[in-house]
């Protein structure tokens, strides 16, 4: 039996994937992920970009490989390499397929898939989004903490903080951070923070990307007094910290954060219900183009302590949409 070697693009947009319907052949009207054969001298990624350009008149960014599907059709054996991808430029014009749809995870069974592609559907359906806390590593492990699969607690120590040069003329680099490493260039990390016990000026807990002492970012709610708190973010590049804040009521004691990466650019969002997120900061990290570490932190810059609680941690496809306005220079 002959083997046909192909590539397929799992094109994602937020929580949706792009599916196309065949308009020809024995499997006419069945649904599939777009792609095609690998030509001599091509890498799988090169073949995928070419196929999508030819089939959909669209340029894509090819991300990580998900799996290789091996399937025996009656006439041939199919080897299909499947890659996550997203639209870089173009509007997915149907040049060969008869229809297309964006499908959420709960809609994947609403169309009739080609048998080989159905194998990929099972992987997508079972793909876990929850954070693997067992892979997280401490920088400055605190004295008192709890790490469980679905809950992390950190009891802060007095006089701990993350801050570099700018305005205050002091530097602090002693807050505990718990992070996981990744080389994924496109993703979002979401976490719920509970700081009910926060009670002293500058007590804080939130999300962090700590690369080294002079290159990091963080976002949190900092307690100020009984009237208000600071919801803010700090971006530190090459040893200089840039702080942006807005005042919120002091009775807010829970906040969700969403940290998103697109190569070496980053977006921080916040939410009070875990559903509706508002942008806090878009920034560039000069040392954030390769492998990074990201996660959570908690600290008390002055003479205080409190317990910070982190739950609902998950990693998803990048929820920060590609820019669709003015084109690059």
CA distance 179 to 191: 13
Longest dimension (CA), the chain: 75
Q: 116 in helix, strand or coil?
A: helix
Confidence at residue 321, expressed as pLDDT on a 0 to 100 scale: 85
Confidence at residue 126, expressed as pLDDT on a 0 to 100 scale: 67
Confidence at residue 118, expressed as pLDDT on a 0 to 100 scale: 92
Residue 32 confidence (pLDDT) above 90: yes
Contacts with 267 (C-beta within 8 Å, 6 or more apart), sequence order: 258, 259, 260, 279, 281, 282, 320
What is the Cα gyration radius of the chain? 23
- The mean predicted confidence, pLDDT, of the chain is 93
pLDDT tens string 162-214: 999 988 888 999 999 999 999 888 899 999 999 999 999 999 999 999 999 99
Least confidently predicted of 13-22, 53-62, 89-98, 189-198: 13-22
Percentage of the residues of the chain whose pLDDT score is greater than 70: 98
Percentage of the residues of the chain whose pLDDT score is greater than 90: 78
Confidence at residue 129, expressed as pLDDT on a 0 to 100 scale: 65
Looking at 3.30.565.10, 3.90.79.10, 1.50.10.20, 1.10.1370.30, the CATH number of the domain 3-126 comes to 3.90.79.10
**Angstrom distances, CA of residue 213 to CA of 165, 177, 182, 235, 241:** 11, 12, 19, 12, 11
Phi, psi of 68 (to 5 degrees): -120, 120
Nearest to 266 by CA among 324, 210, 327: 210
Confidence at residue 329, expressed as pLDDT on a 0 to 100 scale: 73
Instruction: Provide the CATH topology of domain 133-316.
Output: Jelly Rolls (2.60.120)
Average confidence (pLDDT) over 300-319: 94
| 13 vs 242, more confident | 242
CA distance 262 to 215: 17
pLDDT tens string 216-260: 999 999 999 999 999 999 999 999 999 999 999 999 999 999 999
Residue range(s) occupied by CATH 2.60.120.200 in the chain: 133-316
Confidence at residue 299, expressed as pLDDT on a 0 to 100 scale: 98
| Total residues belonging to the chain | 329
User: Are 111 and 118 contacting, i.e. CB atoms less than 8 angstroms apart?
Assistant: no
Residue range(s) occupied by CATH 3.90.79.10 in the chain: 3-126
User: Are 255 and 240 contacting, i.e. CB atoms less than 8 angstroms apart?
Assistant: no
Residue 128 confidence (pLDDT) above 60: no
pLDDT tens string 256-299: 999 999 999 999 999 999 999 999 999 999 999 999 999 999 99
Region of residue 223 (phi > 0: left; psi between -120 and 50: alpha; otherwise: beta): beta
User: Are 29 and 111 contacting, i.e. CB atoms less than 8 angstroms apart?
Assistant: no
Half-sphere exposure of 267 (CA within 13 A, CB side): 20
Residue 86 confidence (pLDDT) above 60: yes
Query: Would you state the torsion angle of the CA atoms of residues 210, 215, 219, 221, taken in this order, to the nearest 10 degrees?
Result: 100
> Which pLDDT band, with edges at 50, 70 and 90, does 65 fall under?
confident
CA distance 298 to 144: 12
Confidence at residue 141, expressed as pLDDT on a 0 to 100 scale: 97
């Amino acid at each position: 039996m002959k083997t046909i070697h192909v590539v397929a693009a799992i094109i994602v947009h937020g929580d949706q994937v792009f599916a196309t319907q065949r308009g020809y052949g024995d499997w006419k009207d069945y649904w599939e992920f777009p792609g095609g054969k690998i030509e001599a001298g091509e890498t799988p990624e090169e073949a995928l970009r070419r196929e999508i350009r030819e089939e959909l008149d669209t340029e894509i960014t090819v991300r990580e490989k998900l799996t290789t599907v091996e399937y025996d059709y009656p006439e041939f054996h199919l080897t299909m390499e499947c890659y996550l991808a997203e639209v870089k430029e173009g509007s997915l014009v149907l040049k060969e397929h008869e229809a297309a749809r964006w499908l959420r995870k709960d809609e994947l069974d609403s169309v009739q898939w080609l048998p080989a592609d159905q194998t990929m559907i099972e992987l997508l359906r079972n793909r876990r989004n929850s954070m693997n806390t067992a892979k997280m590593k401490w920088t400055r492990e605190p004295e008192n903490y709890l790490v469980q699969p679905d809950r992390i607690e950190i009891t802060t120590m007095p006089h701990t903080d993350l801050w570099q040069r700018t305005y205050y003329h002091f530097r602090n680099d002693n807050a505990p951070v718990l992070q996981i490493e990744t080389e994924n260039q496109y993703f979002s990390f979401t976490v719920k923070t509970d700081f009910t016990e926060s009670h002293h000026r500058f007590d804080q807990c939130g999300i962090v990307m700590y690369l080294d002492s002079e290159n990091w970012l963080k976002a949190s709610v900092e307690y100020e007094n009984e009237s208000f708190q600071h919801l803010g973010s700090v971006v530190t590049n090459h040893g200089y910290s840039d702080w942006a804040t807005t005042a919120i009521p002091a009775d807010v004691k829970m906040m969700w954060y969403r940290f998103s990466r697109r190569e070496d650019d980053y977006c921080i969002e916040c939410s009070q219900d875990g559903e509706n997120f508002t942008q806090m900061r878009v920034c560039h990290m000069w040392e954030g183009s390769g492998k990074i570490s990201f996660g959570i932190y908690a600290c008390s810059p002055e003479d205080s302590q409190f317990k910070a609680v982190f739950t609902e941690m998950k990693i998803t496809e990048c929820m920060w949409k590609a820019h669709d306005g003015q084109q690059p220079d």
